A and B are shown apart, each in its own frame.
Chain A
């Protein structure tokens, strides 16, 4: 008797949760759906309809053709894509290498001042990046990096958080494993490449994804460091869309769809790593 009541209760809870989540999912999907629909509309037809219509009258791909055209001078999205892929790609590779090397040393090697250095760096990193942005501009100016990819690739490699994250993960690897390798005569570098990197793969994938999306989505810094429209990243460049297309609903929606698609695809294939990575970084697992 009791049992059936409790089962029915759980079902009621589940049903409530389902309704609540369906409602939210609709809210979350509507904006995407709206730009997607609007991107196929003909600008003229929207105007004729008084500036608003739910569905495209004629479905067209012209907006996409126009915007992705490599010769689009007004909003060189094509160019920005290439810039963003290049910059974020290199930044990600360097992040994984540099952060994992440091994390390995702090977690597994014995050397004088190890814990002090780590603590001092962690302590200093409470100063938020925002304080540094104006001096960083000056520094890049002096280095001749402004308007170039280096300004967007290198300064972001100075962070501490990912080192902390990888270090935490490496504590989970037993020292005995490394000792065996050492007795076999492996150098620290061999151990790093052959033992640490393969074993730390889950956390390194998370760091790679965070570095890539973080760099790709950075807005303030690229919009300061880059003045040349052809050298902007996609995220910073999109700021110009409003000036270029103003109230052209279909064009603006197409721009938004194009900007979202790469991340949507990345997410589709790496979803579980993202979610695992967030859990790692909040200190719940690992």
Chain B
């Protein structure tokens, strides 16, 4: 009797070990994620220069950036947001379509397909600074490979639409490999018999692609769409290094303003900057929720 009750007691005893396993991460999560998150939300309602005690001013920062037409912050915020969104809209379709075409070609297993795959994937591992240094003297107006090879005199970094073209080309070269790998794995998962049967039935290549291939990999398409959008909303390095935000601040993206306001030369305007990053964060957040739902559904 005593034995059994002792056993029950032991079983009911609060087990500490599992909590020890998750404790290190939970502590880090609270200190370096949750606390900064809370502090950031708070700071966006304050007058703050990183060093003073934040002074609560309600919605003033948000009013300034969203509605105060005469304010430089208003101009910077809307220009930055417009440029970031422009980049997302131009870049993401290429980031889906080009890797998809590459994956489709790789899936036919032509000679050297492993080599092609490795080559295209490789730049994804390189930092954005190294990538932009690599391209810097390809698009350079006088010293660059392109203009000299083609005999043109295009001001790639200093004129639109070339400035956006440059930023997008470099970005696609940098990260096309990422989605490509996902599509390659997805295409391999498609039942070959179905495609073959369709082919024998006389369904042409395009119909097979749109009616069988695309529906079969729809999960991966949506997933890559979501992660690509999130990724590109964070654009910063390419315009900073290549165009410097020019010409006329047409490639000056939101993160560049946020960074400059908080950490640039002169007085830090961290409060306003935080409010801007909150709005950007909110946009990314909405897209992330889709990602989470996707992952959850996949898991179920």
Contact = CB atoms under 8 A, between A and B. Distances in A.
A98 B129 contact: no
Contact of A134 (B102, B109, B178, B270): B270
A111 interface: yes
B40 A131 contact: yes
B89 interface: no
A13 B133 contact: no
Interface residues of B, number: 100
Contact of A111 (B18, B28, B281, B295): B18
A22 B106 CA distance: 11
Contact of B129 (A102, A236, A249): A236
A130 B102 CA distance: 32
Contacts of B206: none
Interface stretch (A27-35, A57-65, A66-74, A199-207): A27-35
A284 B189 CA distance: 9
Given A24-B102, A29-B119, A188 B185 contact: no
A24 B37 contact: no
Interface in A208-239: 213, 216-217, 219-220, 224, 234-236, 238-239
Interface centre among B129, B189, B298 (most CB of A within 10 A): B129
Contacts of B224: 282
B292 A127 contact: no
Nearest to A277: B181
A15 interface: yes
Nearest to A162: B25
Nearest to B237: A219
A126 B119 CA distance: 32
A121 interface: yes
Given A98-B28, A102-B22, A283-B295, A34 B116 contact: no
Contact of A188 (B17, B119, B127): B17
A259 to B, nearest CB: 4
A132 B36 contact: yes
A279 B21 contact: no
A158 interface: yes
Given A25-B116, A124-B34, A241-B133, A104 B236 contact: no
Given A111-B15, A124-B34, A99 B22 contact: no
Interface in A128-153: 128, 130-139, 141
A109 interface: yes
A14 B106 CA distance: 9
Nearest to A237: B129
Interface in B157-213: 173, 178, 181-182, 185-186, 189, 199, 205
B108 interface: yes
Interface of A: 6, 10, 13-18, 20-22, 24-25, 27-32, 34-35, 38, 46, 51-52, 98-99, 101-102, 104-106, 109-111, 114, 117, 121-128, 130-139, 141, 154-155, 157-158, 160, 163-164, 168, 187-189, 192, 213, 216-217, 219-220, 224, 234-236, 238-239, 241-242, 247, 249, 252-253, 255-256, 259-260, 263-264, 266-267, 271, 274-275, 278-279, 282-285
Q: Which 3 A-B pairs have the closest CB atoms?
A: A105-B21, A131-B281, A259-B130
27 contacts: A14-B109, A18-B111, A21-B113, A24-B102, A28-B119, A30-B138, A52-B148, A99-B25, A101-B21, A101-B24, A105-B18, A105-B22, A124-B33, A125-B33, A127-B285, A130-B255, A131-B40, A132-B36, A134-B270, A136-B36, A137-B262, A188-B21, A238-B129, A242-B241, A259-B130, A275-B181, A284-B182
